[in-house]
Chain A
Amino acid sequence: MGGNSDLDVAYVARLARINLSEDEAKIFQKQLDDVLKYVEKLRQVDVTGVDEAAHGLSVFNAFRADAPRDWFTAKEALSNAPRQANGLFVVPKVVE
């Protein structure tokens, strides 16, 4: 259930793949309702004819040479894996 805004913390947490406890969801709901109420002020701003800025300083067409170079070996790429076997990351079965 949502609070004083359209945000339903428990639902959005599921979208974000975070299993929240009920207590956490309740606290976050109140805190994020406050934040959303605060950011409401942006709706008053007249932005007619203003293009959105994705960056303060935009860089266009950042090219680099399409040349092969050394990078991680499989062993290095797996060096922090919580579980691995046969040179692969191991996760629970995805498809039954």
Chain B
Amino acid sequence: MTGNELLAVSIADLQSLLRRREVSPREVIDALRQRIESIDPDVGAYLSLNFDAAVKEAEHANVDLPLGGVPIAIKDIINVMDQPCTCAAKILNGYRAPYDATVIQKLRAAGAIPFGKTNLDEFAMGSSTENSAVKSTRNPWDLSRVPGGSSGGSAAAVAADEAFGALGSDTGGSIRQPAALCGVVGLKPTYGRVSRFGLVAFASSLDQIGPVTKTVQDAALIMNAIAGHDPQDSTSLIEPVPDYVASFGNDLRGVRLGVPREYMIEGIDPQVRGAIDAAVKQLNSLGAEIVEVSLPSTDYAVAVYYIIATAEASANLARFDGVRYGYRAENPKDVLDLYGRTRAEGFGPEVKRRIILGTYVLSSGYYDAYYLQAQKVRELIRRDFASVFEKVDALISPTSPVAAFKLGERVADPLQMYLADIFTIAANPAGICGISIPCGFAELDGHRLPIGLQLLGKPLDEARILQIAHAYEHSTDWHKARPPIGSNLPKTWK
């Protein structure tokens, strides 16, 4: 097995290799480092790497633990002790995390090795990773295109075999959409299923941490490690955590899947539509019953989201004021000058826009018209889902209406970028879970670009959508395709 072949395996297969002592955790880290050093200058998935610590952990790894010796990449908005946590923002340049987030403590307890921090849109605000104040990440399937966002670094790293799995965060699609655009699996758990303690807060009523992986089983394995109640996150749910792998099977008889009428919009790329239609037929052939359903409030989801998310962001990002951590403007003449210039110099344009919009919708005289109204429409969106989930087990849709777009193509028009989030965005205000899995390719300019299928599930029904996703994946080969990048690297490992 060459280094490239080793790095292409799933977490489940890596565990078998480790447990049979066919490869050591140290050798895995070394192969990973070599590949990252060769191809990440092109992909740009990582903001920081800490291989010295990873090698030490690998040498003491217990491969019999659930994720023993498995290196996991972490979106750079989750605190990993003694590593930078920049949120891809200038205002957190130089910050080093003084503690581990709960998900990191749990990954470590399961034997995993967090070795590097991945790129994102600044403070997770964006859908292309182009809002990173540090650098662009490129889609491994076509380096002239975006990886999606905001967890674009995590998705690109997994797609390019620069990570076996990664953590991302999803506030309106930030795990699912980049997973779709990079051809990997991305799960947004139910609101409260995974602790956010140690996740830098963007929109506290919407944010969730979840896995980005090569296979559905790997997503389930990471969920087994990170899900559950945490006294340090008062929104985390006190519900037992099932074994997410246990219900896997290949038969979908008795499963009812809903296709939302309102999601069949104009503006879905014909190649995306074709792939989704084929996936629906495939699910049907596995035994699932397909029914059309209605989510009448769909047209309001993007508007609700951009009011609530910006309102919460304006409050959460008030803490970045140059006093306690991160960037501080030089020679402030007084404390207001310190705040105003630190924030002007430290935040990028998208973050400033959102803080301003959020401050406005919460301000006296506009609160009722915007924020309160949005919270009420949010309740209608939640009821839409609750009502269809009485009839079906899960919903099917594209994850994104289009495949990966060109770098720079959409940055000038924030509203158009927001509208492309239409299929993923409602899950967050409603608190439900969702997963994106590979379901085909579009052909554009001579490149194959991945297409993602989204399954949305009831609150706390991750096991069900993982089961359906696994059965679909098992019956197709989409997840086995690897992007062309780095395939000609020298075979130096073993």
Contacts and interface: CB of A to CB of B under 8 A. Distances in A.
Contacts of B372: 52
Interface string B226-240: 000001001111000
Given A52-B376, A56-B428, A62-B235, A12 B363 contact: yes
B347 A18 contact: yes
Closest 10 CB pairs of A and B: A56-B431, A52-B375, A80-B325, A82-B328, A62-B234, A19-B340, A47-B376, A53-B379, A39-B303, A19-B344
A52 B378 CA distance: 7
Contact of A16 (B191, B359, B376): B359
A57 B95 CA distance: 33
Given A34-B415, A42-B303, A47-B373, A55 B431 contact: yes
A85 interface: no
B356 A18 contact: yes
Contacts, number: 176
Interface stretch (B42-50, B331-339, B389-397): B331-339
Interface of B: 94-96, 98-99, 190-192, 205, 231, 234-237, 297, 299-300, 302-304, 306-307, 314, 318, 321-328, 332-341, 343-344, 347, 349, 352-353, 355-357, 359-360, 363, 366, 369-370, 372-380, 382, 413-415, 418, 428-432, 459
Interface in A62-88: 62, 64, 72, 76-77, 79-83
Contact of A47 (B335, B357, B377, B432): B377
A36 to B, nearest CB: 8
Given A19-B341, A53-B375, A83-B328, 13 more contacts: A17-B318, A35-B306, A36-B357, A38-B302, A41-B303, A43-B373, A45-B300, A52-B372, A54-B205, A80-B94, A82-B323, A89-B323, A92-B333
Nearest to B378: A53
A7 B459 CA distance: 37
Contacts of B338: 91-92
A1 interface: no
25 contacts: A12-B356, A15-B363, A16-B343, A19-B343, A19-B344, A24-B352, A27-B349, A31-B413, A32-B360, A42-B370, A45-B297, A45-B373, A52-B378, A52-B379, A55-B205, A56-B205, A56-B431, A62-B235, A76-B98, A77-B98, A80-B94, A82-B328, A83-B328, A92-B335, A92-B338
Contacts of B414: 31, 34-35
Nearest to A45: B377
Chain B interface SS verdict (over half): helix
Contacts of B382: 53, 56
B191 to A, nearest CB: 5
Contact of B356 (A28, A41, A62, A64): A28
B431 A17 contact: no
A80 B190 contact: no
A80 B98 contact: yes
Contacts of A6: 366
Contacts of A94: 335
A42 B205 contact: no
B380 A42 contact: no
A34 B326 CA distance: 33
Contact of B339 (A17, A50, A81): A17
Given A57-B459, A64-B231, A91-B338, A51 B205 contact: no
Given A43-B373, A47-B377, A9 B205 contact: no
A52 B418 CA distance: 23
A42 to B, nearest CB: 5
